[in-house]
Amino acid sequence: MRVATGSDHAGYHLKELIAERLAERGHEVVDLGAHSEDRVDYPDYGAAVGRAVAGGGADLGVCVCGSGIGIAMAANKISGIRAAVVHDATSAALARQHNDANVVCFGQRLIDGGTALVALDAFLDASFEGGRHTGRVAKLDAL
């Protein structure tokens, strides 16, 4: 699976840790930046990940900023993206199972690396349940 990653400067280190885990799991990482801790703007990277997923250049996306919130907002501006900020394995799995999230977002200032990796694994291992959730996701997509 191809997974696009993106972060601002405040999420750079966690993005790099996540990229390592993705590669360990056999996924192709499409690193869209940032490539250092030099100050950059999170909307640029959230949008880049969103565009990669929506355009078919990646199957899923991972975004990281200081809180995960701003970069998720940016990714969600791209049509077809359902980006979810997660804080643990449960929220990550539910984002996929109930909301068919295709981008997962983390806040480097709010989650430790170990918890983020467990949440990432839960996100990747989960799948959309469909059923009662299908109509709700369709309503999200129609907005």
Q: Which residues are marked as active site?
A: 65, 98
Helix, strand and coil content of the chain, in percent to the nearest 5, comes to 50, 15, 35
| 8 A C-beta contact, residue 42 and residue 35 | no
Residues 6+ apart with CB under 8 A from 119: 86, 87, 88, 89, 91, 92, 104, 106, 111
